[in-house]
Each structure stands twice: as structure tokens, then as C-alpha cells.
């Protein structure tokens, strides 16, 4: 009789152990899925990532150039491209063209060069950059 009781409790304990193992495996799979989703997401930017890409530096340079003109003046940037260079690890030189809308519907085309230094932080934030020079031609 004692043998049947022992086997019954052993069987019940075995079932509980398997449920625990399956529960741990389920939590591990959920954790892995969450980590992979986060790692693949482009929306979450890590502030301490590497230096800015060329397109990001160009975007900030355009913002600095817009600040140089009086408010109310419309500045556009043609899609003819831009040139990009790096003097040191964090100093960028951006050269491109712009088009300024003048009174009377006329427009003026010009070229610009912005030399700026990335200080670190959020790449899209202008306070993370120092403007070393802006030249308009």
C-alpha cells in the first residue's frame, strides 16, 4: 500500500515539475521576443550611439542655414545633392546649394558651406552641435 501512495505522490510531483518547466520556457520565449523586437525597432534611438551619418549632418546644417535668414524668408534646398566631409572625428563640413524666395516671386540661388562640430547627445538636436562657420555664396 505504501508503494502505491509513494508512486502517486511521485507522479503528482512530476506533473508539477513539468508545468514549472513549461512555464519557465514560455517566459523565456516571451522575453526573447521582446528583446528582438526592441533591438530591431528603428524608433528607439540610443543616444550614445556612434557619430552622425552624412544625411543627419546635412539635415542639421540646413537647420542652421535657415536660422541665418530673416524670419519670413523661404529657403528651399534642391535635390541636386550635397557634399560631405569630415575634418576630424566630430567636425563635419557640408556643402550644398539653396534657393531663396524673394519678394515679387523671384528666387535667388546660392551655395553654402557649414562647418560644425558634434558635441554628443541627440543627433537631431541643434544644441548637440557647435557651428564653427557658415559661408553663403
Give mean pLDDT, residues 50-69.
Answer: 86
Give mean pLDDT, residues 98-119.
Answer: 86
**Cα(57)–Cα(84) distance, integer angstroms:** 9
**Per-residue pLDDT at 104 exceeds 80:** no
**Per-residue pLDDT at 52 exceeds 60:** yes
Q: What is the percent of the chain where pLDDT is above 90?
A: 19
What average pLDDT does the structure give for the chain?
81
Confidence of residue 3 (pLDDT cuts 50, 70, 90): low
CB 104 within 8 A of CB 117: no
Q: Could you tell me the maximum CA-CA distance found in the chain, to the nearest angstrom?
A: 106
pTM equals 0.61
Amino acid at each position: 500500500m505504501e508503494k502505491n501512495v509513494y508512486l502517486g505522490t511521485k507522479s503528482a510531483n512530476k506533473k508539477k515539475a513539468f508545468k514549472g518547466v513549461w512555464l519557465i520556457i514560455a517566459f523565456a520565449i516571451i522575453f526573447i521576443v521582446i528583446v528582438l523586437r526592441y533591438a530591431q525597432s528603428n524608433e528607439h534611438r540610443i543616444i550614445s550611439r556612434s557619430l552622425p551619418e552624412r544625411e543627419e549632418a546635412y539635415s542639421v546644417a540646413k537647420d542652421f542655414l535657415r536660422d541665418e535668414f530673416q524670419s519670413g524668408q523661404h529657403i528651399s534646398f534642391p535635390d541636386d545633392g550635397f557634399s560631405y566631409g569630415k575634418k576630424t572625428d566630430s567636425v563635419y563640413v557640408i556643402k550644398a546649394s539653396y534657393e531663396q524666395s524673394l519678394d515679387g516671386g523671384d528666387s535667388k540661388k546660392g551655395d553654402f558651406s557649414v562647418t560644425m562640430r558634434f558635441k554628443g547627445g541627440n543627433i537631431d538636436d541643434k544644441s548637440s552641435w557647435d557651428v564653427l562657420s557658415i559661408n553663403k555664396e
